[in-house]
Chains A and B, each alone.
Chain A
Amino acid sequence: MQALLHAIVEPGFFADGAVQIAATLGGVVAVVAGLIGVFTVIRSQAFAGHALSDIGSAGGSSAYLAGVAPLWGFVGISVLAAAAMEQIGVQRARGRDVATGIVLGVGFALASLFLYLGMTYHNSSGEIPTILFGSVFTLSAANLPLVIGLGAVALLTTLTLYRPLLLASVSPELAAARGVHVRVVGAAYLFALAITVALCDLTIGAILSTALLVGPAAAALRLTDRPHRAALLAAGISLACTWLGLLLAWDSFYWPPLRHGWPVSFFIVTLVLAAYLAAGALARGQTKRG
C-alpha cells in the first residue's frame, strides 16, 4: 500500500509549501469557477467568458508594468471589458459575438503593447508564460485573502440573483413578462463572470482560464439538467481536476526530461477535457439504459 502510494504521489508533495499554497488558492478558484461556470454555459456565454479571460492578458501585463499584484490587473481589466461588452450589446444574441470580438481584439492589442514595454524597460523575467499560462506554484500566500474575497463577491452576486438569473437565462421573454429586469440581472452576472475569469487567469493563465470556467460546467450539465445540482457537480469536477493537476505536475519532475516539471496548467486543462469526454460517455450510457 505504502509503495503504491509512493508510486502515485512522489515524496514531499503534501509537505511542500508551494504545493499547499497552490492547492488552497487553486481549490478556491476551482470551486468558484465551477459554480459560476454553469450559468455561463446555460446562458451560452462561453465566448464572452473566453474573451474576458484573454483580455486578462492586458490586465496582467499592465500590472507587471505598474509593479502591482497581477490579480488587480486581471480583475480591473476584466470588469472594464465586461462593462464595455455590456454597453456594446452583449445581452442581445445578435450583436453578442461582434461586441465580444471587438473588445477581445482591443484587449490583445493592449497586451502586446504592455508586454513589449515590460520586456524592454523592466527587469522581470518570465512574465509572458506566467500571464498567458499561469504559474500556480509560484503564487504567494499573500494572494489568499484577496482571492477568497473576490470569489465570495462573485458567488454572492450569483446566489442573490439565482432565481431571476436562471429564468432570464432560460427564457428572457418570460422573465421580462414576470417583471425581471433582464438587462440588470445579465449585467450583474457579467460582473460576477468577470471576477471569476480574473481568478482563473491568476491560477491557470489568461489563455487557458476558460477551460476551468466552461469545461467542468459543461461536463456537469451533460450529467444533470438541474442547475443547482449541476453547479455543485461542476465545482467538484473543477476541484478534482485542479488538485489532480497539481499532483501530476509534482510527479512530472521525475519524468523525462528529468528535473523539469511540466506546467501545471497543461495537466489541469487536459483533465478538464477528459472529464468532459467522460461525462459525455456516461450520459450516453445512461440514455441507452434508460
Chain B
Amino acid sequence: MAALAITIAVSACGSNGGGPAASAGAAGGSPGRITAVGAENQYANVIAQIGGRYVSVTAIMNNPNTDPHSFEASPSVATAVAAAKLIVQNGAGYDSFMNKIESASPSRSRRVIDVQTLLGLPAFTRNPHLWYEPTTMPKVAAAIVRDLSALAPAHARYFDANGRRFDATLQPWLHAIASFKRLHARTPVAVTEPVADYLLQAAGANVLTPWVLQADIMDGVDPAPQDVTLEDNLFKQHRVKVFLYNRQVTNTVTESFLKLATQNHIPVVGVYETMPPGYSYGAWMLAETRALSEAVTAHRSTEGL
C-alpha cells in the first residue's frame, strides 16, 4: 500500500513514446509514455523532471514514516518493475531488493541506472546515502537524459533541455553549501545515522559522532553503551552546535539523544532518507541545508520539513 504511491502524473499526452513503452499498462503507465521506476522517490523525481510529458514514473520508497533500510518489497513493486523501461536505483546495498525483482522479470530492453555503479563506487560503500553528495545527482541526471534519449530518440532534445534545467535548479543549493563552508567550516555537529554525512562533509562540518555508532543505528543493531555515553556527552558538555536527527530511522536510543539535545538547548535539524512530500529534489536539499545554517546562525531548530 505505502510502497506504490505517486505515479507522477503529467497532463499532456505524449504523441510518440517510442516503441517499447507501448506495452506499458500495469503500473499506471499510459500508452505512449515511457514507463519508469525510481527505487527512491528522489530518483523518481529527477526522472520526472527530465522525462516530463513523455515519461510516467513510479516511486517505490516514498513514505517518510518508514525506514528504507528495512523495507520489504510487495508484489505491486514487482509489477511496476516488470513494466518499467527505465529504472534508477541507489545500489550500495540500500535497495538490493530491486536487483532480486529485476532478475525475476528479465528484460533486454530495460535500462537500469545503478547510482553506486554509475559513480564508480564499490558495492561495500559504507555510507549508502549517495544522493546527499552534491556531485551525485547531476551525473544521475545526465545518465537519465542519455537513457531516455535512447528509448525515445525523437525527444532527445527535449530531454537534454530538461537535463540542463534540472542542473540549474540545483544552483541555489550548491550556493548554500558553499556559503556554509565559507562561514561555518569545522562546525561541530552530532548525528544519529549517516544519512546526511555527505552533505555535512561537503559543507565542511565536523561530525563528532563516532562512525560505529552511526553504522549501528543505521543497521538496526544495539550500539555499545560506551558509544552511547560518548554521544550523550556531546550534548551534555555542549560540544556540538547542531544535532541532525534522521526522522526515518529511530529507536529508543535515538529518542534518548533527541531528548538530551532538547534539554541542553542544542538546535535539532530533522533529516530524511527519502524526499518528504511537497518537495522536489533540489528544494529538499536546499531546505535541509538552510535548516542546518539557521541552526548555527540563529540557534533555530527545524525538527521536520
Given that A17-B232, A259-B212 are known contacts, is A124 also in contact with B226, CB under 8 Å in the complex? no
Nearest-CB distance from B40 to chain A (Å)?
15
> Does chain B have a CB within 8 A of A263?
yes
- CB 8 Å contact bits of B235-258 with A (1 = contact, 0 = none): 000000000000111111110100
Contact B250 A123 (CB under 8 A): yes
Q: With A16-B225, A119-B72 as given contacts, are A128 and B250 in contact (CB-CB < 8 Å)?
A: no
* Chain A interface, number of residues (Cβ within 8 angstroms): 30
The CA-CA distance from A128 to B219 in the complex, in Å, is 11
B-side contacts of A129, CB under 8 Å? 220-222
- How far does the Cβ of A259 sit from chain B's closest Cβ, in whole Å? 5
User: Does any Cβ of B come within 8 Å of A261's Cβ?
Assistant: yes
Cβ of B224 under 8 Å from chain A:
yes
CB-contact partner of A261 in B69, B193, B225, B256, under 8 A: B225
B2 at the interface (CB under 8 A from A): yes
State how many residues of chain B have any CB contact under 8 Å with chain A.
Answer: 39
User: Which of B59-67, B103-111, B135-143, B293-301 makes up part of the contact surface?
Assistant: B59-67
A133 to B, closest residue via Cβ: B222
Give A257 Cβ to nearest chain B Cβ, in Å: 9
| Contact across chains for A137 and B222 when beta carbons are under 8 A apart | yes
Q: Do A123 and B249 have beta carbons less than 8 Å apart?
A: yes
Cα A138 to Cα B217 with chains together (Å): 12
Q: Contact: B72 with A138, CB < 8 Å?
A: no
A19 close to B (CB within 8 Å)? yes
Q: B71 near A: Cβ within 8 Å?
A: yes
Report the minimal beta-carbon distance from A98 to chain B, rounded to whole angstroms: 33
List chain A residues, Cβ under 8 A from B252.
138-140
Q: Is the CB of B67 within 8 A of A121?
A: no
**Inside 8 A of B219's CB, which chain A residues have their CB?**
126
The CA of A129 and the CA of B229, in the complex, are separated in Å by 21
Partner among A19, A123, A139, A261 whose Cβ is within 8 Å of the Cβ of B248: A123
User: Looking across the interface, which residue of chain B has its beta carbon closest to that of A259?
Assistant: B212
* CB-based contact A126/B251 at 8 Å: yes
Answer whether residue A242 sits at the interface, using C-beta atoms and an 8 A cutoff: no
Instruction: Closest A residue to B256 by CB, please name it.
Output: A140
| Chain A 18-46 residues near chain B, CB threshold 8 A | 18-19, 22
The reply on A74 being an interface residue by CB < 8 A is no
Residues of A contacting B212 with CB < 8 Å?
Answer: 259-260
Q: A17-B232, A128-B220, A259-B212 are in contact. Are A123 and B226 (CB under 8 A)?
A: no
Contact B249 A120 (CB under 8 A): no
A window 120-168: CB within 8 A of B: 120-130, 135, 137-140
Q: Contacts of B72 on A, CB cut-off 8 Å?
A: 116, 119-120
B70 is an interface residue with CB less than 8 A from chain A:
yes
Q: A125-B251, A140-B252 are in contact. Are A259 and B221 (CB under 8 A)?
A: no
The residue of chain B having its C-beta at the shortest distance from the C-beta of A18 within the complex is: B225
Residue of A nearest to B193 (CB): A125
Contact of A122 among B66, B224, B227 (CB under 8 A): B66
Contact A12 B251 (CB under 8 A): no
Decide if B221 touches A121 in the complex (CB within 8 Å): no
Q: How far is the CA of A116 from the CA of B222 in the complex (A)?
A: 20
CB distance from A10 to the nearest CB of B (A): 8
Specify which of A16, A123, A130, A260 is in contact with B247 (CB 8 Å cutoff). A123
| Shortest Cβ distance from residue B204 to the other chain A in the assembled complex, whole angstroms | 26
Contacts of A17 in B (CB 8 A): 229, 232
Would A121 and B220 be within 8 Å (CB), given that A116-B72, A126-B251 are in contact? no
Residue B228, interface by CB 8 Å: yes
Asked if B210 is at the interface of the complex by the 8 Å CB criterion, the answer is yes
| Residues of A close to B64: CB separation below 8 A | 123
Q: Is the CB of B226 within 8 A of A12?
A: yes
The residue of chain B having its C-beta at the shortest distance from the C-beta of A137 within the complex is: B225
Give 14 new A-B contacts, CB below 8 A, not counting A120-B72, A130-B222: A16-B225, A18-B228, A22-B225, A123-B64, A125-B69, A125-B249, A125-B250, A129-B220, A129-B222, A137-B225, A138-B223, A260-B224, A261-B224, A261-B225
Residues of B within 8 A of A (CB): 2-3, 63-67, 69-72, 74, 193, 210, 212, 216-229, 232, 247-254, 256
Q: What 8 A-B pairs come out closest when comparing CB atoms?
A: A126-B220, A261-B224, A18-B225, A135-B222, A125-B249, A125-B220, A119-B70, A259-B212
Chain A: residues with CB nearer than 8 A to chain B? 12, 16-19, 22, 116, 119-130, 135, 137-140, 250, 253, 259-261, 263
13 A–B contacts, CB within 8 A, in A order: A16-B225, A18-B228, A120-B74, A121-B66, A124-B250, A125-B218, A126-B221, A127-B220, A129-B221, A140-B256, A253-B225, A260-B212, A261-B224
